[in-house]
Structure 1
Amino acid sequence: MPARSSDIRRGVLLFNLGGPETLEDVRPFLFNLFSDPEIIRIKNDAVRKLLAWFIAATRQLKSRGLYRQIGGGSPLRKITEDQAAALETALEQRGLRARVYVGMRCWKPSIDDAVGRIAEDRLSHLIALPLFPQHSFTTTGSCLNYFKRVIRERGLAASTAVQYIDAWYGEPLYIESVADLIREATARFPDKDSKEIHLLYSAHSIPARYVTEGDPYLEQTQKTVALINARLGNHFRSTLAFQSKVGPVKWLEPATMEVIARFGRNGTKQVLVVPISFVSDHIETLQEIDILYKRLAKEAGIPEFHRAASLNLYPKFIECLATLCLNTFQSIDD
C-alpha cells in the first residue's frame, strides 16, 4: 500500500462480511453473523442473540469441518486487504490520493475498527463502498446501516462528508471482468463450442420472503446475468441458481445443487459455474463449489465441471472499483 501521509483528506471504506481465519474463530464468527438483525429478523436483541448463540453452538463442528477442507480458515480478509491496496494504488495512478480502509460486518477488521482509523486520519470526504455488486438487506443493507449508526454515535457524521455507493451490478467494467473470466475458463473444456458449455450462475441465496418485502437482490442478480450474457453475445445457454441455504424457511430457488442433479439427468456434459454475487474467494467458492458441487457433478455423471475464477485482484475489476470512486469524488467536486 502506498506510503501514508497526513495531508491525505479523502478515503474509501470497503465493506465485506468477513470470515473466520482459524478454526477457533468459527464459533464467534457464526455468532456475529446470526446476531445481525438484517439476517435474523427478530427485533428483540436478547432473543436474537440467544438464538445466534444456539446456532453457533450447534453449527460450529460442521462449519469447522468445512473450513478445515480449505486450509483451516477463510482467505477473505487477506484478499480484501489486497483489493484495498490495489485500489489505493489505482487511484493514485489516476491522480487521486486517498486512503482505502477495510471494514468487516461480522469479523475483523471490524467496521468499528475502520471508523476508528478514519476518525484518527481526520478525513474530509469518505466513500462507503460495499463489495456486493447487487444490493441485499442482508449484505449491503446490513453493512451500511451499521456503519451509519457507528459514525453517528462517534460524531464522525458531523466532521466527514460521506458518499454511499449502493448497487453497482451494471458497471461496464464489472460486467466485462466477469465475462473475461468466463471466456478464460471455457478454455478448460475439451469441446469449446459455446453451445456445448452450460453456464451455471450461482448466487448466494436469501430467504424468499425478503424479496416479497422489497429486497431488490433477486431482480438485480437476474439483470446481472442478462448483462453478462449480452456481453458474451448470448452464445451460451445459462441458468441462474442459488447456494448456501441455511435453515428450514423457503429460500430463493432453484438451488444450485438441484440444478446440478437436473443437468446430470438431462445429459449435460460441460458445466461452468460462475460465482455471481461474490467478488472474492471464500468458503462458498473454495469449499461449496470447488469441493461439494464438483463431487455432486461427478456423481451426477457430468464429466466436465469447472468454475470461473473469482474477481479477486483481476486488474479490470480493480479499475471498476477505481472508476466508481473517481466518479463519486467527481460528483462531490462538481
Structure 2
Amino acid sequence: MNCQVMNTSSPSPSSSSSSRNPIPNSPLLLRRTVCYSLSHKTDRCSGVQIGGCHKTLHLPRNCCVARWSDAKRPLRYPPQASLVASESKGVSSIPIVGEEKIGVLLLNLGGPETLDDVQPFLFNLFADPDIIRLPRLFRFLQKPLAQFISVLRAPKSKEGYASIGGGSPLRKITDAQAEELRKSLWAKNVPAKVYVGMRYWHPFTEEAIEQIKKDGITKLVVLPLYPQFSISTSGSSLRLLESIFREDEYLVNMEHTVIPSWYQREGYIKSMADLTEKELQTFDNPEKVVIFFSAHGVPLAYVEEAGDPYKAEMEECVDLIMEELEKRKITNPYTLAYQSRVGPVEWLKPYTDETIIDLGRKGVKSLLAVPISFVSEHIETLEEIDVEYKELALKSGIEKWGRVPALGCEQTFISDLADAVIESLPYVGAMAVSNLEARQVSHIGGLFFLGIHGLIVAKVSCQ
C-alpha cells in the first residue's frame, strides 16, 4: 500500500528531547507519538500566579503532522488503514462533480434523552475500551465492570440530568448543527446530506451508516465534533467506524476522508474569541477578569503512555484563542484546567476544581469560564460548570462568575465547518484502499496509515 504523506515538515522538538531520542528522518519510521516539549508561558496576572498556562510550538496551519515522544510503549490498536485522513486546498479551487452523492457524517458522544436512558447510556460509555483501558488479560471483564459502574453511578447521574430538564440536550443541538451545516454547504454549492452518528446513544453510528448506505452516498466526509483529537473521543468513534468499514464491502470501497481535528481553524478560533469577548463585557471591570478555560480531562496515561495528542492540541488551541483576543487589545490573564475526572487514577492536571479553589485563595474576584472542548451544551456545561463549579467558585471567594456559551449553531463556526468539509473533498478517496489491503495491512512498527490516533494527522487548512 502506498502511504501518501503531504507536506510533512514539522517543527523540531527541544534540544534536550532530541538528544535522548533523535527524530527519525522519515515519518514512516516513527514508532511513538505526541507532545513536542512545552515551555511554560509567563503568566500575565499581576500579582497572581496562575498554573496551567503553557506555550506550545505553533505548527503550520496546512500541514501533515508527524508527532513523537519518549513514551515507553507504542500505540496498540486494531488497523486503521481503511479510513483516510485529509489535507486540503483553498475553498475556491474545489471542483464539485454533479453526479456524486456527497455525505457528511458528524460524530459525537451522545447522551441520555430521558432518565430511564441514563443507566444504559453509562453502560455503553464504560464498556468502551477507549474509556476504560484494561490490560489484555482482563479485557473479558470489560462488560461486567461497565455494568457494575453504570449501576453504581446511575443514581447520581440521574440527579444531574434531572436538574437540567430530565435529559441531555446534546442530540437536539447536534441535529440542529447538522441542519445548519447542510444549509451552509448548499449555499456554497455543495449539495450534501449531513448525518449524525453518536457513540453511546441514539442515533448510534451504526444507524447513521445504514442510512448513508440506503441513500447511496458515494463520497463521505467524516467530521468528529471534537475540536481537539483524543483517543477517548474522536479516536474511539473513528476506531468503531473503521471496524464497521472493514467488514462492509460497500463502505470499504466508498470514497471517504476523515477530518481528525480542527482546533486550529480560523473560523473556530474567531468564534470562540467572539463569544469570550462578548461575555467579558458583562462584567463591571472586564480587564480584571481571569479567563478560565475548562477542558474535559483524560487519564494522564493516555498522554504519557498511549501517545494521545489531546493535551498538546488543547494547549495550542488556548494559545490561539488568546492570540486572537490580543489582536483585539484583550490581554486578560488566563489559565487552563481539566474537569470531569472519575476513578482513582491520575488525570491531566491542573484539575478544574482545585484550580478554582487556588484562584480564590490568591485573590481572584472575577472569573469567566470557557468550556473549551465542548461545541454543544450538555451535562458538563449545564450542571458541572454552571452549578457545581460556580458554587465552588463563590465559596472560594470569587465574587463575579460568568460562563461563555458553547458554540452551538453560531454562524461563523458553522460556515467554517462547511469550508472544512469542502476543502477536504479533493482528497476523498485519494488514499483509499481495497478491502483486501485493509485486512492485510495493519501497521508498520506501530505506525498506522490514517493517524487518527495522532501519528500522522493531516490538518485541514486554517488559513
If asked which structure has higher relative contact order (CA below 8 Å, sep 6+), I would say: 2
Structure 1 segment 164-313 matched on structure 2, within 5 A: 164-192=258-286, 194=287, 196-213=288-305, 214-233=307-326, 235-313=331-409
Structure 1 segment 131-170 matched on structure 2, within 5 A: 131-170=225-264
Aligned letter for 2:323?
Answer: A
Distance 1:277 1:246 in 2: 17
Distance 1:111 1:154 in 2: 14
The question of whether the paired residues in 2 share the 8 Å contact of 1:14 and 1:130 is answered with yes
Q: Tell me which residue corresponds to 1:70.
A: 164
Deviations 1:219-245 (A, max 9, x none): 000000000000001611111000000
The question of whether the paired residues in 2 share the 8 Å contact of 1:8 and 1:98 is answered with no
The question of whether the paired residues in 2 share the 8 Å contact of 1:87 and 1:321 is answered with yes
| Greater helix fraction, Structure 1 or Structure 2 | 1
Aligned letter for 1:224?
Answer: C
Deviation at 1:332, TM superposition (A): 4.2
Q: Does 1:81 align with 2:175?
A: yes
The question of whether the paired residues in 2 share the 8 Å contact of 1:124 and 1:159 is answered with no
Aligned letter for 2:319?
Answer: A
Aligned letter for 1:130?
Answer: P
Aligned letter for 1:161?
Answer: E
Distance 1:94 1:156 in 2: 28
Distance 2:122 2:379 in 1: 13
Deviations 1:286-312 (A, max 9, x none): 000001111111111211111011100
The question of whether the paired residues in 2 share the 8 Å contact of 1:8 and 1:97 is answered with no
Aligned letter for 2:320?
Answer: L
Aligned letter for 2:332?
Answer: F
Could you say what the CA RMSD is over the residues aligned between the two structures, in angstroms? 1.5
Deviation at 1:156, TM superposition (A): 3.0
> Sequence identity, in percent?
45
The question of whether the paired residues in 2 share the 8 Å contact of 1:127 and 1:165 is answered with yes
Distance 1:116 1:68 in 2: 32
State the TM-score, normalized to the length of structure 2: 0.69
Aligned letter for 2:280?
Answer: T
Q: Select the residue among 417, 421, 424 that pairs with 1:328.
A: 424
Instruction: Number of aligned residue pairs: give it.
Output: 327
Distance 1:290 1:240 in 2: 17
SS at match of 1:298: helix
Q: Tell me which residue corresponds to 2:31.
A: none
Q: Tell me which residue corresponds to 2:451.
A: none
Distance 2:249 2:397 in 1: 59
Structure 1 segment 23-38 matched on structure 2, within 5 A: 23-38=115-130
Deviations 1:96-118 (A, max 9, x none): 00000000001110000000000
SS at match of 1:112: helix
Q: Does 1:319 align with 2:412?
A: no
Distance 1:87 1:41 in 2: 34
Distance 2:167 2:249 in 1: 35
Q: Select the residue among 97, 103, 113 that pairs with 1:11.
A: 103
Aligned letter for 1:47?
Answer: L
Aligned letter for 2:318?
Answer: V
Deviation at 1:189, TM superposition (A): 0.5
Deviation at 1:157, TM superposition (A): 2.6
Distance 1:51 1:156 in 2: 35
Q: Tell me which residue corresponds to 1:115.
A: 209
Distance 2:289 2:249 in 1: 53
